[in-house]
Structure formats: structure tokens, C-alpha cells
């Protein structure tokens, strides 16, 4: 599999607090690359270095290298980088506007498109996110009136509308009920056919269900870097303890 994103000796600190220490990893194309770890282990910070969302927080110091297609993310135009590496957040965060305007928000930032072109983009993105059948004819509805699961799929559609290559999902199901959660997991399996997916989760079972590769982050360090099976048979003491705790 081709490597899409790679980090080399990535260090992130906020003041005197070390958030990530010497993290080196590779994200494989057209696969679900899962990063698991307990809360506070630095998972969210890690993926935010990929699209330079860490730039928004001047206190965060990023050292080492993050490469996207072999080129440092610093050498990309940040708007272009973020268009190509999309992010879905832990809590659904639709904009307080219509379903249509939410999905059209991204495309409108990058291109001046005709109404018909935006219509097509919105429809395709909603279809990709498995929301079109529920929402067609209701695109004017305020996004904040949707259920939590629908809001999260809308956020996925919004991220897909700018035609990214990588879709990062930061614990996308942690605030959802089991049914909404399984819909999103099914969606991830479909999405990996077309996109490189980076999934961050603290749900070991979810990681087992959907992942192609799993990386375990613990206290800002990468302690496992194997197939999902390793979560069942961890060799490292920290990882074993963590997995045992979560499996209970």
C-alpha cells in the first residue's frame, strides 16, 4: 500500500507539557488507519498536525516532520492542505444553517461555482455520507434540527464536498447511540474504497471491526504499530494494561 501521510520523530509540546514524543508513523492509502489510545494520549493533537490545525494554537510547538505525499505539510498552502485532508470532529458540529448550506460551505470557499454545480456536489456528498435518502426534499431544514447521528453524517458530507483525499475522523461515534454508531462504521468501510481514512478512537471493539492497521498511542508515544489483531494479543505491558482496561 502506498504511504499517504508520514511522520518522522514528531514532537508536540504546549509550554512545558510534552503531548507527543518522537512519533513516527505511516498512513496507508485506501485503508482505514486507526489510532487508538486512552483520553489525553495525544491522538487528536497527532491528527491535527496532519492538516496543520495545530497552527490555530500558538502555544503548541510542533517539531519533527509531517509529510503528505512525501512533501512537508509546511510546504503546502494551508488552505489547499486542509481541503485535501478533511477532518470530522468528535462532537457533531454542523454550522447553524441549512443542510444544503452546510455541505455547500466548503466548495464555496474554494471555487466560485454555478448553482447547478453546487447542487450536484451537495447531492453527491450527501449520497456518499448515506444521508441523501433521508434528507432529499428537506435540504432547507436547519442542520441543528437533525438527530446527533444525522448531524455527524452531515459533517462527513460537508468534509467530502471539498473532494479530499484523506478523511480524518476524530472519535466520530463517541457521542452517538449504538444504531447511529453502526451506521457510521458501515459508512467508513464504504468510504475507504475511495478515500484514505484516519480514524481516532478509544473504542477497542470499533478499532477491531473496521481497521486495516492499528497504531496505539499511549502517553504521547507510539507503543504498537501492527495489525488490529495485536489489540487482542498485546506484547507491550502498557498496551496490554490499556486493552485489558477497555475490554472489561
Residues of this chain that interact with other proteins (CB under 8 A) are: 51, 53, 56, 79-83, 86-87, 89, 91, 93, 95-97, 105-106, 108-110, 155, 158-159, 162
Provide, rounded to whole angstroms, the least separation between the CB of residue 116 and other proteins.
21
Provide, rounded to whole angstroms, the least separation between the CB of residue 88 and other proteins.
9
User: Smaller CB distance to other proteins: residue 17 or 77?
Assistant: 77
Three-state SS string over the chain comes to CCEEEEEEEEEEEECCEEEEEEEEEEEECCCEEEEECCCCCCHHHHHHHHCCHHHHCCCEEEEEEEEECCEEHHHCCHHHHHHHEEEECCCCCCCCCEHHHHHHHHHHHHCCCCHHHHHHHHHHHHHHCCCHHHHCCCCCCEHHHCCHHHHHHHHHHHHHCCCCCEEEEECCCCCCCHHHHHHHHHHHHHHCCCCEEEEEECCHHHHHHHCCEEEEEECCEEEEEECHHHHCCCCCHHHHHHHHHHHC
Provide, rounded to whole angstroms, the least separation between the CB of residue 204 and other proteins.
26
User: Smaller CB distance to other proteins: residue 51 or 201?
Assistant: 51
User: Smaller CB distance to other proteins: residue 184 or 204?
Assistant: 184
Provide, rounded to whole angstroms, the least separation between the CB of residue 245 and other proteins.
27
User: Smaller CB distance to other proteins: residue 56 or 116?
Assistant: 56
Amino acid at each position: 500500500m502506498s504511504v499517504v501521510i508520514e511522520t518522522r520523530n514528531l514532537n508536540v509540546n504546549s509550554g512545558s507539557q510534552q503531548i507527543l514524543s518522537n512519533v513516527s508513523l505511516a498512513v496507508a492509502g485506501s485503508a482505514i488507519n486507526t489510532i487508538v489510545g486512552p483520553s489525553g494520549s495525544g491522538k487528536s493533537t497527532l491528527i491535527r498536525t496532519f492538516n496543520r490545525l495545530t497552527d490555530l494554537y500558538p502555544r503548541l510547538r510542533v517539531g519533527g516532520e509531517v509529510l503528505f505525499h512525501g512533501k512537508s505539510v509546511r510546504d503546502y498552502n494551508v488552505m489547499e492542505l486542509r481541503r485535501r485532508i478533511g477532518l470530522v470532529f468528535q462532537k457533531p458540529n454542523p454550522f447553524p444553517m441549512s443542510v444544503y448550506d452546510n455541505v455547500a460551505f466548503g466548495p464555496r470557499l474554494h471555487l466560485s461555482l454555478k448553482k447547478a454545480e453546487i447542487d450536484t456536489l451537495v447531492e453527491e456528498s450527501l449520497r456518499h455520507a448515506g444521508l441523501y435518502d433521508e434528507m432529499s426534499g428537506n435540504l432547507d431544514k436547519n442542520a441543528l434540527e437533525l438527530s446527533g447521528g444525522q448531524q455527524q453524517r452531515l459533517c462527513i458530507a460537508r468534509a467530502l464536498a471539498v473532494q479530499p483525499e484523506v478523511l480524518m475522523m476524530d472519535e466520530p461515534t463517541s457521542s452517538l447511540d449504538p444504531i447511529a454508531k453502526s451506521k457510521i462504521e458501515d459508512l467508513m468501510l464504504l468510504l475507504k474504497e475511495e478515500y484514505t481514512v484516519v480514524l481516532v478512537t478509544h473504542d477497542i471493539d470499533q478499532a477491531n471491526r473496521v481497521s486495516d492497521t492499528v497504531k496505539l498511542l499511549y502517553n504521547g508515544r507510539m507503543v504498537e504499530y501492527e495489525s488490529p489483531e495485536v489489540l487482542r494479543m498485546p506484547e507491550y505491558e502498557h498496551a496490554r494494561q490499556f486493552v485489558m482496561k477497555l475490554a472489561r
